[in-house]
Amino acid sequence: MTELIGIDLGTTYSCVAYMNGDRPEIIPNFEGNNTTPSVVSFTTNGERLVGLPALRQAITNPENTIYSVKRLIGKKFDSPEMQTIRQRLPYKITEAINGDILIEAGGRLYSPQEISSFILGYLKTCAENFLGTDVEEAVITVPAYFNDHQRQATKDAAAICGLNVIRIINEPTAASLAYGLDSRREGLLAVYDLGGGTFDITILEINDGVFHVLSTNGDTFLGGDDFDNSLINSIVEEFWQENQIDLSQDKFALQRIKEAAEKAKRELSFTTETEINLPFISSTEHGSLHIKKKISRSYLEKLTEKLVDRTMAISQVALSEAKVQPARIDEVILVGGQTRMPLVRQKVTHFFGRQPAARINPDEIVAMGAAIQAKIIRGSINNLVLLLDVTPFSLGIETENGGFQKIIEKNATIPARKTMAFTTVENNQRRVKIHVLQGESPRAEENKSLAIFDLVGIDPAPAGVPQIDVTFEIDADGLLKVTARDVTTGREHKVVVKPAAGLLPEELQEIIDRQKKEVATNHDKQGLL
């Protein structure tokens, strides 16, 4: 039996863990670090670098260095988020035929799934090297507010690098498992997860080994990258005011500013002032131009306070949905590197009326929880009885006149199964279209379309007479299966909901075959897949 691992596939950094006896432990990468930059770079001589070697290429090779790909996975090119982010990225993203995103790098086009697979494959190789055995199965975490498309895309990324995903688990839930196993405590927990690209808040109860999620909420486009961009935009704007030169149009200069802004943000978590010093950032006919600017913690907080306040508003919604007051929360767990920011901790402390717990590294706790879940699935941990997670969105079908009928409500415990009866709207109707949607709006057009299929062969009858039972089933990964059944004839149509876009099965297999050939060629190169 091969070793099971848990992977936190992060926007900025990723992490892998395993269970050493009854304790989760982080697996170091080839550089000896516990976390790996979620960066992939393609060099001029055709090599593909992953992690720290790729990150070192960012300034000198920005157009072929891919980061923050988690923000792209499962997204449509024409979505508002993508139209915003593409203006900030040094690498080029284009639109696929099906409306998905393609990334142009190294003279080729890659899907976000394939780029993500390079990161997952690197972590898999690190784990195999550390453990001395093959690794074929993993539990992989995703933001709690990832939709069906993003979850399936993450599973596809794992398949490309040869990993069988035995469970997709929400990041805050994974963190609570690691915390619960570490502390053996019971009570109400709030998991505040502010990572590089996403924010989630989960309210759950631990009682006698049962981890019961009460509610979850979040924003898959709110994270540390946005804090960085606030400072980057400020620097670029100030330079424009002083020199009438737009550094946002210079990819090399912008990448230097990005690295300096990230470094300054990290330093300001531990000091009240730092300096950004970027010589020869640009030039005019009169000579070279430089950036030398002192940045105070209070200045950064002023730039980013609205972002932190957005997380507090989302936290309030999650508490309301769980029917819990902040004062009832027994422990607050911080997850994600951005939670190291003093302003974040101050706001969280004020909101919940208590200091957050800080016993487990916020960069590692999610991977540790994923490793614990892997062992639970295999039946190797007996003191944790049950994990009850929830679906982050309502699921239902389109009804007459463009309405949306919810069948499974948001924050329903998963796995879940529910059947609802519908009927025809026309006399002698022989076919019913089932349009599966995800969202909270009463109007179908304002929700996300997941699948469309037909139930055919209904016996002719007056409108309103046939009974069509529509059954929704959500598995433990949060993925959906829908069945429509004509009660009179017994005819039914069943569909496992796959993204309307994403990789087709033959496309996925083609990428897998290509990766196997590349792995065989490069397996002996450290830092390469």
User: Would 504 be classed as within a structural domain?
Assistant: no
Catalytic residue among 70, 76, 347, 498: 70
User: Would 231 be classed as within a structural domain?
Assistant: yes
pLDDT at 383: 57
The pair of structure tokens assigned to 282 is 């640009």
User: Would 307 be classed as within a structural domain?
Assistant: no
- Domain finish residue from 301, 316, 342: 301
Structural domain of 279: 224-301
Catalytic, 8? Answer yes
Burial classification of residue 312, based on how many CB atoms lie within 10 Å of its CB (0-12 exposed, 13-18 middle, 19 or more buried):
middle
Question: Do both 517 and 492 map to the same domain?
Answer: no
* Whether pLDDT at 492 is above 90: no
pLDDT digits (tens, 9 = 90+) for 249-258: 999 999 999 9
Catalytic, 171? Answer yes
* Whether pLDDT at 500 is above 60: no
pLDDT digits (tens, 9 = 90+) for 173-185: 999 888 876 555 6
User: Would 306 be classed as within a structural domain?
Assistant: no
Question: Do both 405 and 488 map to the same domain?
Answer: yes
Catalytic, 193? Answer yes
Give the burial string for 144-175 (b: 16+ CB within 10 Å, else e): bbbbbbbbbbbbbbbbbbbbebbbbbbbbbbb
The pair of structure tokens assigned to 348 is 């969280």
Question: Do both 212 and 123 map to the same domain?
Answer: yes
Question: Do both 230 and 202 map to the same domain?
Answer: no
CATH of the domain at 283: 3.90.640.10
Domain tally, the chain = 3
Give one DSSP letter per residue of 278-314, joined into a string: EEEEEEETTEEEEEEEEEEHHHHHHHHHHHHHHHHHH
Catalytic residue among 114, 156, 193, 398: 193
Residue pair 91/66 in contact (Cβ under 8 Å)? The answer is yes
Nearest-10 Cα torsion for 262, 263, 265, 271: 180
Question: Do both 340 and 457 map to the same domain?
Answer: no
CATH of the domain at 407: 2.60.34.10
pTM: 0.88
Measured in degrees and rounded to the nearest 5, phi and psi for residue 467 equal: -115, 120
Question: Do both 161 and 114 map to the same domain?
Answer: yes
pLDDT interval class at 507 (50, 70, 90): confident
Question: Do both 433 and 447 map to the same domain?
Answer: yes
User: Would 160 be classed as within a structural domain?
Assistant: yes
User: Would 313 be classed as within a structural domain?
Assistant: no
Question: Do both 64 and 107 map to the same domain?
Answer: yes
User: Would 121 be classed as within a structural domain?
Assistant: yes
User: Would 366 be classed as within a structural domain?
Assistant: yes
Catalytic residue among 3, 100, 148, 171: 171
Catalytic, 494? Answer no
Question: Do both 416 and 336 map to the same domain?
Answer: no
Question: Do both 200 and 56 map to the same domain?
Answer: yes
- Domain finish residue from 247, 267, 301: 301
Backbone angle region of 115, left / alpha / beta, with phi > 0 → left and psi within -120 to 50 → alpha: alpha
- Domain finish residue from 262, 286, 301: 301
Residue with tokens 């950036």: 291
Question: Do both 329 and 197 map to the same domain?
Answer: yes
Question: Do both 242 and 204 map to the same domain?
Answer: no
pLDDT interval class at 519 (50, 70, 90): low
What sign for the dihedral angle of Cα 70, 204, 140, 448? negative
pLDDT at 40: 97
d(CA 244, CA 500): 45
